[in-house]
Structure 1
């Protein structure tokens, strides 16, 4: 995909793409984004949000940014507000087993399909952060930096991130010692050190190179 010029990325996500589609008759525009695609452990999550086709949505969600720019507490507050204003929303996940069997990109698409199903509304159009869903016979647009440009995608990113973070906190108790509640399975130095010390657990993605290397270095029981 091409690199965006600075003027193509607004200061905050807006309704430029949604407005255009609403004007063309696509009133149910679903924004989709993922969380956890680059992590070494845990599921990949996807969020889906269909916002009301109304200008007042922009005021209600003023201040929403790319989910990575918010603190965990801010994301939780935004998630509650998004769920309250959305016409429909859903979260889907693909498991570690599915990631290892299918590959991370197909598993991410699977999570997005599940998020759409969970939303339980048939969308007219899909706005997706940098991906397409070829399995669906629906008009769709893959937007580079979509979570920074389209409000519905930014909202979907927050739902995906908060849902996945909650799941990883649960896994932290199930697999102690790795720090999943802190780093959520991403490849930070503390996670790399835990992998070297403990070896991979069932939550790790064995198809990812750092996990395979740790597995190879782990002595047999």
Structure 2
């Protein structure tokens, strides 16, 4: 089927629930499923990364044109309540770069930067725009039960790994990857353990994947900043929904973080199923 003859872009939706996973070479059943959702715009992917479109390019130009960047970030490592959300985003090639170089100037994402530096109103404006203009994106919700099961660091790393692998898997199924390079930028000081064996079977060799950890990367790279918006707003949305179910906890205000009001609500009303039982204030409330 010819993509060029399609009126609309070809969109591959992502909607997966992961119940079993290998962590540190151990295959485990997760306490609750990890939900991943998003999409890849195959039409945009082919337009920007289709191989041999311009054979006149020299080697250096070809490398620049065939390097696909994925930004990955998380939201919600510190709260006592709810999921930690991880997101990955692939921006159009000319939009991906250092924020200070202003690659987003005169684009619909011109106000994009680290989500923590933006007002909630601006984050809410950017959230659908990132999804609309990204070549691909995926959001992972790692529930409190999994955080308690494997600890918050491993839960976050697991989310980063799954987001990266899902996007690379879909990319490998729709374009030739033999001459491509992949740059995966993670916010923070470490990279997750990617399943390179699985990706190699799909045609993406380990040598083709350059994983980089960037401390405060969401304030440096546009792709990480885009992922930070997706992670932050998706988590906040879940907190607002939980607030409507349990208004007495004031979740809309503290969003699960260990404020004085949140601690007092736990002491007064008890622990919710969505609370992270391995976190000290919640564990203390359970034990008291």
| Band the TM-score falls in, shorter-chain normalisation | 0.7 to 0.9
C-alpha separation between the residues in 2 aligned to 1:23 and 1:149?
A: 22
C-alpha separation between the residues in 1 aligned to 2:125 and 2:246?
A: 28
Tell me whether 1:40 sits opposite 2:80 in the alignment: yes
Aligned residue among 179, 183, 203 for 1:125: 183
Report the secondary structure of 1:47's partner residue. strand
Q: Is the 8 A contact 2:123 2:229 kept in 1?
A: yes
Q: Which structure has the larger Rg?
A: 2
Q: Where in structure 1 do 4 or more consecutive aligned residues deviate above 6 Å?
A: none
**1:10-89 equivalent positions in 2, closer than 5 A:** 24=64, 27-54=67-94, 57-59=103-105, 60=107, 61-89=109-137
Report the secondary structure of 1:58's partner residue. coil
Match of 2:178 in 1: none
Aligned residue among 263, 268, 271 for 1:197: 268
- When residues 182 and 97 of structure 1 are mapped into structure 2, their CA distance, relative to the original with a 3 A threshold, is same
- When residues 141 and 117 of structure 1 are mapped into structure 2, their CA distance, relative to the original with a 3 A threshold, is closer
C-alpha separation between the residues in 2 aligned to 1:172 and 1:110?
A: 27
Report the secondary structure of 2:122's partner residue. helix
**1:77-156 equivalent positions in 2, closer than 5 A:** 77-116=125-164, 119=167, 120-121=170-171, 124-130=182-188, 131-137=190-196, 138-156=209-227
C-alpha separation between the residues in 2 aligned to 1:40 and 1:162?
A: 18
C-alpha separation between the residues in 2 aligned to 1:35 and 1:99?
A: 13
Where is the strand percentage greater, Structure 1 or Structure 2? 2
C-alpha separation between the residues in 2 aligned to 1:42 and 1:118?
A: 23
C-alpha separation between the residues in 1 aligned to 2:171 and 2:192?
A: 17
TM-score (norm 1): 0.81
Aligned residue among 126, 148, 157 for 2:228: 157
Uncovered stretches (5+) of structure 2, i.e. residues with no partner: 1-61, 96-101, 173-180, 197-208
Tell me the matched-pair count: 197
Give the superposition deviation at 1:192. Answer: 1.4
C-alpha separation between the residues in 2 aligned to 1:112 and 1:134?
A: 9
Give the superposition deviation at 1:27. Answer: 2.4
Q: Deviations over 1:65-94 (max 9, x none)?
A: 211122222111111221122111111111
Task: Between the two structures, name the one with larger relative contact order (CA 8 Å, sep ≥ 6).
Answer: 1
- When residues 148 and 110 of structure 1 are mapped into structure 2, their CA distance, relative to the original with a 3 A threshold, is same
Report the secondary structure of 1:93's partner residue. strand
What's the RMSD between the two structures over aligned residues?
2.2
- When residues 208 and 26 of structure 1 are mapped into structure 2, their CA distance, relative to the original with a 3 A threshold, is farther
Q: Deviations over 1:114-140 (max 9, x none)?
A: 433554435812100013012343320
C-alpha separation between the residues in 1 aligned to 2:184 and 2:117?
A: 24
Q: Is the 8 A contact 2:161 2:193 kept in 1?
A: no
